[in-house]
A = this chain, B = another copy of it.
Amino acid sequence: MINDSQVVNAAFRGSFEPALIEEINRIGIYQEVEEGEYLIRPGSYIRSVPIILSGSIKIMRPDAVGNEALLYYLSGLDSCAISMTGSPDNKPSEITAIAEEKTRLIFIPVEKVDEWICRFPTWKQFVFRTYQRRFDDMIATIDSIAFKKLDERLLTYLKKKTQSCQCTVLQITHEEIAREMATSREVISRLLKQLERVGYLRLSRNKIEIL
């Protein structure tokens, strides 16, 4: 049985200075979430910032009528930039965060995020790198929605998914893919079937096997 601080130490060693790791251990709140669990819902207030130790989280943007668009995934040692800024105007969140698989993370209160920036150079670096990555992700998302056709988007979606779970068999329904890509189930079914005919993958119930 691994205890929390061991996990934290292992994750951060090499990235952060020892004093910072100690602070994180002291202040941070360790948590494990199961696949499908919600970390953030739109309307909730964000008072602490999650850092992903292992597993992965998907960040989605829901609209008013039940659609959602996938913004980006978070995985090892990433964090959610949106929640970083102490949101001085105290707006509620506009996004949803859902665990893609069993995920371990540690929560840092926003005040600390702020405070550490000046105390620990590696933390400052971390915060900025996180922002940068999220920007790049969002730009990539805009790119693909604005310029690509659905079949191409579906392909990159499948690629990212397999990368993030490190496997070739996805446990997922067409319906769910459709929601994440803000389209309809039938369309995804058809495109997947096409990819199967081409030999790119094999389909079965609740399962997509990439070849």
Contact partners of A118 in chain B: CB under 8 A: 117-118
**CB <8 Å contact, A135 and B134:** yes
Contact B147 A145 (CB under 8 A): no
Tell me the number of copies of this protein: 2
Q: Are B67 and A129 in contact (CB-based, < 8 A)?
A: no
Contact mask for chain A residues 136-179; partner B; CB cutoff 8 A; 1 contact, 0 none? 10110111011100000000000000000000000000000000
Contact yes or no, A87 B132, CB < 8 A:
yes
The distance in angstroms between the C-alpha atoms of A114 and B124, with both chains bound, is 9
CB pair B182–A82 under 8 Å, yes or no, is no
Does A201 sit within 8 A of B, measured CB to CB? no
Q: Are B134 and A71 touching (Cβ within 8 A)?
A: no
The secondary structure that dominates the A interface is helix
Contact (Cβ within 8 A) A81 B146: no
Structural contact, A85 and B131, CB atoms closer than 8 A: yes
A145 and B70 alpha carbons, distance in the complex (Å): 12
Are A129 and B71 in contact (CB-based, < 8 A)? no
Report B-chain residues with C-beta under 8 Å of the C-beta of A88. 125, 129
Q: Which residues of A contact B (CB under 8 A)?
A: 61, 63, 67, 69, 71, 81-82, 84-88, 94-95, 114, 117-118, 124-125, 128-129, 131-132, 134-136, 138-139, 141-143, 145-147, 182
Sample of 29 A–B contacts (CB below 8 Å): A61-B139, A61-B143, A61-B146, A63-B146, A67-B147, A69-B143, A69-B146, A69-B147, A71-B139, A81-B131, A84-B131, A85-B128, A85-B129, A85-B131, A85-B132, A86-B128, A87-B132, A95-B139, A114-B124, A117-B117, A117-B118, A117-B124, A118-B118, A134-B135, A135-B138, A138-B138, A141-B142, A142-B145, A145-B145
